[in-house]
Amino acid sequence: MSIRENLQNIKKQIGDRACLVAVSKTKPNEDILEAYETGQRVFGENKVQELVAKSESLPKDIEWHMIGHLQSNKVKYIAPFVSLIHGVDSGKLLKMINKEGAKINRKIPCLIQVHIAEEDTKFGFSEQELNDLLTEELLQSLTHVKIKGVMGMATYTDDEYQIRKEFGLLVKIFNALKKGVFSENSEFKEISMGMSGDFLLAIEEGSTMVRVGSSIFGARNYNK
């Protein structure tokens, strides 16, 4: 099936229940343009260099999301144009995003990454770490960051029960933050969870944003 057909299929399944981030990492510009032609405007990349190169050579109305692990010293390269940073996984990174945003007078939209998977290979905060980090004092100091919600990745498994449980945990943590430190922040509303293998489960559990790559563009070849 073509990229166009894949996208149409997936959009039909999602409907207006969640925002679709088309994950185009490792894929060439022509693939992105094919998706663009069908009306897709939101794309996700996980490497800073690739994100910058693609944003420079592709249409300017594309919204670029940084979905991968981001090193603090690379924030400056994407600060001027990135539409959303999904994986904010340390206080250091959050402060650096604020600093780079201040330099260019831009409020940079972010999601806080929460560790929900059983594996300890995945990045993100625990609920306790979030409570310790997100003090009123810190939030007041973040004048150039827009915290729009949370992001999480479930364990890589076929066990649907396990995946639902982890997505449910992310929703629970989101709701607690929404009622707590972000109760005055009407922009705190996104839950980014769900990938090719589990985006429908994620939506059923309350996802507002799914990050889908291989189901749209086909399997990735990292040896290219």
Between 171 and 181, CB nearer to ligand PLP: 171
Between 181 and 212, CB nearer to ligand PLP: 212
Between 101 and 152, CB nearer to ligand PLP: 152
- CA–CA distances in Å: residue 172 to residues 81, 157, 205: 31, 21, 10
CB 24 within 8 A of CB 55: no
Site for ligand PLP, rule CB under 6 A: 23, 25, 46, 67-68, 195-197, 211-215
Please report how close the Cβ of residue 164 comes to ligand PLP at its closest, in angstroms.
Answer: 17
Please report how close the Cβ of residue 47 comes to ligand PLP at its closest, in angstroms.
Answer: 10
Between 18 and 181, CB nearer to ligand PLP: 18
Between 54 and 144, CB nearer to ligand PLP: 54
Please report how close the Cβ of residue 165 comes to ligand PLP at its closest, in angstroms.
Answer: 19
Measured over the CA atoms of residue 84, residue 15, residue 17 and residue 164, the dihedral's sign is: negative
Please report how close the Cβ of residue 152 comes to ligand PLP at its closest, in angstroms.
Answer: 10
Mind giving me the DSSP string for 116-184?
-SSSTTS--B-HHHHHHH--HHHHHH-TTEEEEEEEE---SSS-HHHHHHHHHHHHHHHHHHHHTTTTT
Closest residue to ligand PLP using C-beta atoms: 213
Please report how close the Cβ of residue 151 comes to ligand PLP at its closest, in angstroms.
Answer: 8
Please report how close the Cβ of residue 141 comes to ligand PLP at its closest, in angstroms.
Answer: 27
The helix or strand, by DSSP H or E, that contains position 77, with its residue range, turns out to be: helix 75-78
Which position has the token pair 């922040």? 185
CB 91 within 8 A of CB 138: yes
CA distance 178 to 149: 9
CA distance 150 to 177: 10
Between 162 and 196, CB nearer to ligand PLP: 196
Return the SS3 of 108.
strand
